[in-house]
Structure 1
Amino acid sequence: MDQFAEWVRHSFGLGDGPLLRTVGGRGADGDVWHLQVDSREYAVKRPFHPFDVEAVSREAALLDHLAAREVEVPTHVGTTDGRLVAEVPADLGGGRARVSHWIEGDSVGARTSELAEQLGALLAQLHRAAPATERQPRSWYTAMLAPVEWAHLVEQSAGRPWHDALAARLGDLTAYDELVRRAHPATGPFILGHCDLHPDNALVAPDGSLRALDWEDFGPLDPGRELAKTLVQWHVLDNTLDEEAITRTVTAYRAAGGPGVLADLRDFAMVLCSETNFLASQIRLALDDAAQPERREQAQGEITEALGAYLPSLATLDRVLDAATA
C-alpha cells in the first residue's frame, strides 16, 4: 500500500474508494503526482522549498475567482481542518504537501505552432477574467542581474560544463540589461495573472482548447508584457522564430478581447528578467556543494537548455515585435 497516498487521502478528506498514485514527476521546484481516489482525480505537490502559506492562500483565492468566471483551473483542496498546506510526517519524508483538482489533458509537446490560436484564446480569457490589483509586479519580472554580476558567475563557473556557453552570452546579457533599465517597471493598470505560461505549464484539453496549470508563480503583471513573454516562450527557440504562429496567436488574442498591447522592445522586459533570473538561480544551485546531487544535476540540465535555446538576441525580439504588430 502507498503510505504517502493514504496519508494524503485522510489528511485532505478525499473519501473512500480504490486509491492509485501515478505519474510522478520532478520539476525545477518540486515533485508532483496524479492521485486517483475511486473516480476522483487530484494533483499532489511537494516542493523542494517551504511553501509560503500566505501565497498559497492568495493563489487559491485567485483560482476560485477564475473558476467562478468559467475558467477551468486547478482549484485547491483543503485539509480536513481547513488548511491548504499540510506537514508531511517525518517517516514519509517530511516537508509539506498541497492538493488541487486534476485537470484532464495532454501535454503540448512540440505542438506550439499547431496550438497558436488556442494559446491566444486562453491568454485573452485569463486576462479578461483576472482581477485588477494595485500591487506592483515582483522584481523577478522587472529587474535582472547587472553585467558585473554575470561576469562574476562566469568566473565562478570556470571548469564547469556550461562555462563557455555562458561566457559567449555575456554580450546578449549586457544588451538585455540596457533594455530592462530603459523599460523601467510597467506603470499599470495591473492584473493578477499566471506569469509563467510556457508550454510545460499548459495542457491540451479533450475539446482541443488549452488549460493553464502550475499557478505558483502567479502575481501582478502588465497584460502586454505577459503577452510578449508568452509569444517568446512558445514561438521562439534560440534565434529561430515562427512568425506565422506569432501572428496567429496575437490575432486570436485580439479576437477574444485580450487587453494587452505590444508597443516596442521594452515590452519584452518581463521575459528577459524572468529567463535570466531563472538561469542565475540554476547556476547558483549547480555551484552549491551543499545541495543534493540530483538537484545539482537537474540544475545543470536547466542551464544547458536555457543557454542553448531560451536567450534570443534583441534582433530576434525585434522580429517577434514585427510579427506581433503586423
Structure 2
Amino acid sequence: MEGLIAYAREAFGWDGDVTASLGPRGALGQIWRLEVGHERYALKETFAEPASGALIATELAFARRAADAGVRVPAAHPDREGRYLVTTPGGTWLRLYDWVDLRPVSPSAPATPGELGTLLARLHRCAPAMKSEADGGPPASWYDRVPAPHEWAEVARAEATWAAPLRERLATLPELCAAVTSADPADLITCHRDLHPDNVLAGPGGELVVVDWDNVGPATPARELASAMFDWFGGDPDAMRGLYDAYVDEGGPGRITGPADFSMALATRVNFLLVQSRVAIDPEAEPRHREWAEREMDEMLPILPTVRHLADVLELTR
C-alpha cells in the first residue's frame, strides 16, 4: 500500500502527508479513501483491463450532462499531465475522484422507488444517442447475449457451496433466456449500464449519488429501466411498479412492452455468474479474488429471475 500511495503522490503532484484507508471494492477494482491535507479523495485501483481513453472521454462527457440534469456525480480529477487514467508499476491502474461520504440506500424505505425512478429518468432524458461502443466497436455482447450451454461445463462440475444451486438453474436457463435479443440500433442511447445498489448511494443529505461510470455505453432506455428494477426490487412488485411509475412521471423515455426488454437484466446476470464461477475455481487467482467471487455466487444465484417472474413484471408495467 505504501508503494501505491507514493506513486499516486508523485503522479498527482501532492505535497505533505497522504493517509489512506480501505474503502469498498467491486468485481474489477478497489477504492481507497485518501486524505491529502484538507482534501479527501477516492482513489480507484483497477485490477483488470481499464477503460480506454475514448471510453473515459465518453464517461466524463455523460457525467457532466447528468450533473447538469440534477444528478449528483463525484468529480473526476486528472494527474499532473492531464491524464484521467494512470498506470502503476505494479500493473494496475488508478483513477481519482472526489470523496463523498456515502451510505447504502435502503430499498425498503418508502421513498426509494420514486427517487430511483426519477434519477433514472433524468439520466435517460439527458443521454445522447450512441450507436456503438466508445471505441467505435459494436455494442458489447455482455448486455444482449448469454453463454452457450457448453461454456458452463467446467464450472458445473465444481465442488463448492454454490455448485448444486448453479446446476439446478442451468436446467432453466434456455427457457429463461429465450427472450434475450440484440437491441434495435435506432433505440440506443448512452447509458450507465451498472445502476445496482452498490453504485447508487446516499450522500450526506440523503441525496442519491451515482458512482462507478466505467461501464458507460449504448443501451435502450427500456432495457436499463428493467435491469434497474430487478437490481433493486426483484422480490417486491409494488416497489418495482413505484420505480416504473416515477420514471414515467418524470418523463423517462423507456417503456417495458415485451420480453425482449428483459435482455439486459438477464444477460448481465448470467454472464456475471459465469465469470465469477470461473474465478472462484481458478487455482491461479488471488485468494481475495476467489473469496469475493464465491460470495457473489452465493448472493446472485438465489435472486436470478424466473420465467414467471418476468411475466409478472411485464404485467405490472402494463
TM-score over 0.5 for the pair? yes
- In structure 2, what is the equivalent of residue 323 of structure 1? 316
CA distance, structure 1, for counterparts of residue 250 and residue 37 of structure 2: 38
CA distance, structure 2, for counterparts of residue 53 and residue 147 of structure 1: 31
- In structure 2, what is the equivalent of residue 107 of structure 1? 104
- In structure 2, what is the equivalent of residue 141 of structure 1? 143
The answer as to whether partners of 2:34 and 2:43 remain within 8 angstroms in 1 is yes
TM-aligned CA distance change 1:39 to 1:269, over 3 Å? same
CA distance, structure 1, for counterparts of residue 241 and residue 177 of structure 2: 27
Deviation at 1:141, TM superposition (A): 0.3
- In structure 2, what is the equivalent of residue 58 of structure 1? 58
CA distance, structure 1, for counterparts of residue 263 and residue 110 of structure 2: 23
Residue 305 of structure 1 aligns with an amino acid whose one-letter code is E
Aligned length: 312
The answer as to whether partners of 1:113 and 1:242 remain within 8 angstroms in 2 is no
Map 1:39-58 to 2 at 5 A: 39-54=38-53, 55-58=55-58
The answer as to whether partners of 2:17 and 2:37 remain within 8 angstroms in 1 is yes
Map 1:167-316 to 2 at 5 A: 167-180=167-180, 183-236=181-234, 241-309=235-303, 311-316=304-309
- The two structures, once aligned, show a CA RMSD in angstroms of 2.3
Percent of aligned pairs sharing the same letter: 36
Q: Structure 2: which 5+ runs fail to align?
A: 133-137
Alignment TM-score, normalising by the size of structure 2: 0.89
Deviation at 1:109, TM superposition (A): 4.8
TM-aligned CA distance change 1:9 to 1:72, over 3 Å? farther
Q: Is 1:80 equivalent to 2:80 in the alignment?
A: yes
CA distance, structure 1, for counterparts of residue 286 and residue 109 of structure 2: 33
CA distance, structure 1, for counterparts of residue 97 and residue 166 of structure 2: 38
Residue deviations 1:138-192 (CA, integer Å, cap 9, x gap)? 1100100123433x145442x3332211111123211133221xx3433432111
Q: Is 1:162 equivalent to 2:162 in the alignment?
A: yes
The answer as to whether partners of 1:222 and 1:260 remain within 8 angstroms in 2 is yes
CA distance, structure 2, for counterparts of residue 302 and residue 154 of structure 1: 15
Alignment TM-score, normalising by the size of structure 1: 0.87
CA distance, structure 2, for counterparts of residue 113 and residue 166 of structure 1: 33
The answer as to whether partners of 2:42 and 2:99 remain within 8 angstroms in 1 is yes
Deviation at 1:322, TM superposition (A): 2.1
Q: Structure 1: which 5+ runs fail to align?
A: none
CA distance, structure 1, for counterparts of residue 239 and residue 273 of structure 2: 26
* Structure 1 counterpart SS, 2:115: helix
